[in-house]
Amino acid sequence: MEDTKQPIPNEEPANTEKPKPKPVGKEKKPEPQYLLSSSPHMATIDRVPKIMWTVIAALMPAVVYGMYNFGFNVLLTVLASVIAAVATEIVINKMRGRESSVADGSAVLTGLLLTMTLPPAFPKAYAAVGAVFAIAIGKQIFGGLGYNIFNPALLGRAFLQASFSVKITTWTAPVGIDAITTATPLGSFKFEKIMTPYFDMFMGKIGGCIGETSALLIIIGGVYLLVKKYADWRIPASYLGTVFILGGLLWIINPEQYPDPVFHLFSGGLMLGAFFMATDMVTSPVTPKGTWIYGFGMGAVLIIIRLFGGLPEGVMYSILFMNAFVPLINRYTRPKIFGELKK
Amino acid sequence: MASKTSHPKEFLKGLWDENPVLRMLLGLCPTLAVTNSAINGFSMGLAVIFTLVMSSAIISLARNIIPKEVRIPTFIIVIATFVTIADKMLAAHVPDISKALGPFVPLIVVNCIILGRQEAFASKNPVGRSVIDALGMSIGFTITLTILGSIRELLGVGTIFAVQIMPLSFEPWMVMVLQPGAFLTLGLMIGISNWLNARRAK
């Protein structure tokens, strides 16, 4: 990209903004040359495959812990889901006459993320059905990666929740012992008013979906992505911040009825959703202002579902709900073009 | 505007080329609402066949004496008459299906397929041609709704026309008999029909 840029004379002498000097390497002249060119201005080595595989790597601690926590079975569920996702991707690419996009890792990531949101004892065949749905309906129908409106993995999960609502809310206790049903911290609070110790929730010794239990490991992976700038820090910040503040306000008003904000942060799939799903580059807003609105909206929807809705958990629906608004948010938070006059 | 196409063609266009649901996207309200089982979709289709054919015949007969200014109210009155007959017949003979279809049978009155065929075809063509057109359109509608209902029933309950198809171990996909299932299946059916047309055009 860089080498093709031609110097263009600056046509706006009244321009008070300091144009950034961009000297072209080889033909250096005594006075700096001013270049006008369209963005992006920086060459980058980040490509879709690299980002996707990095996200997969960042998920690994939580996945491995899920296997340790819920047993070997989980590995098979992960495999079933990932293989189904990749196979669907291959078949649909063939049908559409496109080059294979398996190597970019997005199908593997979708399959993996989907499994992480499923209960440990969820039947593998249904996990595969969810993965097929996520790729076919969630992504490829819209035109493939980059064109999808909704987060494919969450759409797959929404389909599974609507189809197999009993199986997807049957939780098993951690540590090996098979088929002992238990409740998630959110479930036991909502329906029985029992609090789970924070330390267990933070470390992950609780019932829940395969990849959501350990807040610590998810935060480690998530922070890695934030540092690499593969996820916009504003999204988890605004999402978690809104949940904390709104949850806190309600807790101050009535601590008997509403759980405290720390409980909100570390329970359910909030950490996983905030760091790995809401930050999906395709389905989140592109403007900084837009990401704040997006995060606030997700936090508000989550609190409403958790405290006033019929379901104990609302991370999935809060993200999907705000995904639908992303085109609108992008449109209304578009930065003004320099020099554009106010109407 | 007497159409020059042959009678068989007039009939066949409703089945595919101008299929009211898949090609013209008309009558989507009953299409989405009542197709949670094959029998419901099929019965809805029968009610539409009866209403459309009868009202097309009457309107085509009266096409020269209906004043242009009040043609829509006239169409509605004729259609409403036959819809009421269909509704009462269903309620009297198959009360279960009538209950399942609920308000969607009376709502055939405002179904755009029927009003559309009166405005676009029956009010401008002789009786024979109008009836053939009405038959083609309504049978196309019925076939589409029956297929849609069958797919949803197969995946959502495991049966077609209440006959067990899937093995008993099959766990039904509840979503297919709920509203999202209607949108998903219809969208995919339209997609497949477009895909087939694109292939045929090549």
ipTM value of the model? 0.81
Any B CB within 8 A of A141 CB: yes
Convert the pLDDT of each residue in A121-134 to its tens digit: 888 999 999 999 99
Element (H, E) at A101: none
**Per-residue pLDDT for chain B (202 aa), expressed as one digit of tens each?**
445 678 888 888 888 888 889 988 998 888 998 898 999 999 999 999 999 999 999 999 999 999 989 999 999 999 999 999 999 999 999 999 999 888 889 999 888 899 999 999 999 999 999 999 999 999 999 999 999 999 999 999 989 998 888 888 888 888 999 999 999 999 999 999 998 998 888 7
3-state secondary structure of A19: coil
Min Cα distance B150 → chain A (Å) is 17
Partner B contacted by A159 (CB < 8 A): yes
CB-CB neighbors (< 8 A) of B176 in chain A: 163
Residue A22 located in a structural domain: yes
Residue B174 to residue A163, Cβ atoms within 8 A: yes
User: Nearest residue on chain B to A129, judged by CA atoms?
Assistant: B173
Interface subset of A 4-63, CB within 8 angstroms of B: none
Report residue A117 as tokens: 């949101």
Among candidate residues A187, A198, A154, the one with its CA nearest the CA of residue A268: A187
A180: closest CA of chain B, how far (Å): 22
Query: What pLDDT is recorded for position A30?
Result: 57
Which residues from chain A sit within 8 angstroms of residue B173, using beta carbons? 129, 163-164
Residue of A nearest to B156 (CA): A163
The set of residues, in sequence order, having a beta carbon less than 8 Å from that of A284 and lying 6+ positions away, is A232, A235, A278, A291, A294, A326
Q: How far is A164 from chain B (nearest CA, A)?
A: 7
CB B130 within 8 A of CB B122: yes
The distance from CA A140 to its chain's CA centroid, rounded to whole angstroms, is: 18
DSSP state of A340: P
- Residues A298/A242, Cβ–Cβ less than 8 Å: yes
Chain B residues interacting with chain A (CB cutoff of 8 angstroms): 171-176, 178, 180, 184, 191
Long-range contacts, A233-236 (Cβ 8 Å, 24+): A234/A288, A234/A291, A234/A292, A234/A295, A235/A274, A235/A278, A235/A279, A235/A284, A235/A291, A235/A294, A235/A295, A236/A274, A236/A275, A236/A278, A236/A279, A236/A295
The domain total for chain A is 2
Question: Are A32 and A102 within one domain?
Answer: no
The DSSP code for A34 is B
Could you tell me if residue A117 is inside a domain? yes
B chain contacts of residue A167, beta-carbon cutoff 8 Å: 171
B-chain residue closest to A130, CA distance: B173
pLDDT at A69: 81
Cβ atoms A18, A28 nearer than 8 A: no
Instruction: Write the CA distances from A200 to A184, A207, A316, integer angstroms.
Output: 12, 10, 23
- Contact B51/B58 with Cβ under 8 angstroms? no
Q: Position A199: which residue type?
A: F
Cα gap A184→A267, rounded to integer Å: 8
Chain B: closest CA distance from residue A128 (Å) = 13
Residues A12, A92 share a domain: no
Weakly modelled stretches of chain A, pLDDT under 70 = 1-45, 173-183, 192-193, 340-343
Beta strand spans in chain A (E): 171-172, 181-182
Please, are residues A283 and A149 in contact by the beta-carbon 8 Å criterion? yes
Identify whether residues A147 and A289 lie together within a single domain. yes
Mutate to test the interface with B, among A94, A160, A163 (most CBs of B within 10 A): A163
Provide, for chain A, the percentages of residues in helix, strand and coil under a 3-state DSSP scheme, each rounded to the nearest 5: 55, 0, 40
**Has residue A171 been placed in a domain?**
yes
Do A233 and A170 belong to one domain? yes
Core vs surface per residue B155-188: b (16+ CB within 10 A) or e: bbbbbbeeeeeeeeeeebbbbbbeeebbebbbee
User: Domain span at residue A3?
Assistant: 1-43
Question: Is the CB of residue B108 less than 8 Å from the CB of residue B30?
Answer: yes
Q: What single DSSP character describes residue A182?
A: E
For the stretch A286-290, contacts whose Cβ atoms lie closer than 8 Å and that sit 24 or more positions apart, written own/partner, are A286/A330, A287/A329, A287/A330, A287/A333, A287/A334, A287/A335, A288/A234, A289/A333, A290/A326, A290/A329, A290/A330, A290/A332, A290/A333
Largest CA distance in chain B: 62
Is A174 among the domain residues?
yes
- Supply φ then ψ for residue A198, to 5 degrees: -60, -35
The reply to whether A163 touches chain B by the CB within 8 Å rule is yes
A96 interfaces chain B, CB cutoff of 8 Å: no
Q: What are phi and psi of A102, to 5 degrees?
A: -70, -35
Do residues A24 and A68 share a domain?
Answer: no
CA distance A153 to chain B (A): 17
Task: Enter the tokens of residue A216.
Answer: 């610590």
A25 shares its domain with A154: no
In whole angstroms, what is the distance from residue B17 CA to residue B134 CA? 14
pLDDT of residue A1: 41
Question: Smallest Cβ distance to A162: which of B171, B180, B191?
Answer: B180
User: CA-to-CA distance for A319 and A310, rounded, in angstroms?
Assistant: 17
The minimum CA-CA distance between B20 and chain A, rounded to whole Å, is: 23
Residue A209: give its domain's CATH number.
1.10.3430
Does a structural domain hold residue A343?
A: no
The first and second tokens of residue B62, run together, are 């009266």
Domain membership of residue A179 (yes or no) is yes
Q: Do B173 and A137 touch (CB under 8 A)?
A: no
Distance from the B148 Cα atom to the nearest Cα atom in chain A, whole angstroms: 18
How many helices, marked H, and strands, marked E, lie in chain A?
13, 2
Specify the 3-state DSSP secondary structure of A13.
coil
pLDDT of residue A12: 47
Q: Which residue of A has its CA nearest to B183?
A: A137
Contact between chains at A126 and B174 (C-beta distance less than 8 A) = no
A186 touches A306 (CB < 8 A):
yes
- In chain A, the residue whose alpha carbon lies closest to the alpha carbon of B179 is A162
Q: Which amino acid is at B107?
A: L
CB contact under 8 A, B175 and A126: no
Q: In chain B, what residues touch A165 (CB-CB under 8 Å)?
A: 174
Judged by CB atoms closer than 8 Å, whether chains meet at B178 and A126 is answered as no
**Rounded to whole angstroms, how far apart are CA atoms B151 and A244?**
45
Distance in angstroms (rounded) separating the CA atoms of residues A336 and A166: 49
- A-B contacts (CB, under 8 Å): 19
pTM for the whole structure:
0.81
